Structure 1
């Protein structure tokens, strides 16, 4: 089976699927890309032959975060009662039924870090960097990270990442529990497929049932936290510090923030 949803390619080899983001070199996302990922994983949930999948991306960067210049802003809401369509799609990703292994071969920044935490497990390498750079942009964390990240690495380590925007290397990510397997960059995808294949050897109904138990309430909490994140991002996106943050990151310099 081979399908394509925009810049997301889906293929199935035996019982393991590959879901690949094809927006190199930086693999920035917009609302449409996250919706295309939802469509891909929904298809795999409905495909009996698929028992597990690998989420990967082309090039040496996993995902550099949100494209703030995209047609449909990642920070906008369609109507006050509906909320941000990006985070609606993010909740849908956390609601998928079958196990996912993330192949994190390079930097996962901001919302890209949120995307990297959708999978059940992560395979990474020394070249990878896990970065919650939101305050460097003058914005509040999003993508449900304020719930998911502390669940993985603990509140204090999550605080450290959020407050400083520090880049966590692959080795430290494994030590902290942010990733599960460390290998060389050229073998990240291979090792991710090996883990997904091992999962796929289990009885599929039992695996999905166990996963549902272990992740019970996760999507609901992601929704609750992302609703709050959305409200905080809405007013912060109107500040001068946000404009300066986006500019400073683009220009690769420290932001000159004024608190306005």
Structure 2
């Protein structure tokens, strides 16, 4: 299945993608849907076929969970371009839900930053509660996968050794357009991931280049915190980020940045300047 969260009627609704249309489900969003023990059945058989066309729908972030865990330095190509050695353990940081943005929303470039960068990523959505899980249990608990652009304010990120402030500007992390269940994308072990800016390819890789895979990351995180249905894990970005270029290149108003993930679709966001 492919699931989405759509803005409609002054609120949001979870929806199932059928062909080119959305079937509206009873849940207000995908996170609420995943909270049900019978979510697969409810998502597959429920709803009414009076939803909008997928291409015309006003899509919200496919999930907006309480917990967003991100992995840095997880593609071999990106680690090498930064001049670092391969890490022994996942490099983790967190985002707040307010950082998330719809897959077609405008990306407002913060006036406080002059170095706004792109990061194409595979997102993993948790489908059941996980605590101190093994890798096999973690893999079985994956609800599905989505595309993420972990937009980063590099000047703020590098103010200190901690990345937190450069990763948590509000409404700067597009997520979507859909959640694809594992059977749709073969556990995401070898999906093509691409980022373009105004149509120019700036990142291109396969999820096969991940140092730590999705189930391994979930198992590791569940050792120290409980993961709940709907929680999102962004698994890191490949080489090609703007900050690593010579000279560095960053996003500007008027540009369109697109992150596409094989079998899932694209988040496409127009960059606009923040109003003074």
User: Greater strand percent: which structure?
Assistant: 2
Q: Which is bigger in relative contact order (C-alpha 8 A, separation at least 6)?
A: 2
Q: TM-score category by the smaller chain?
A: under 0.3
TM-score with structure 1 length normalisation?
Answer: 0.26
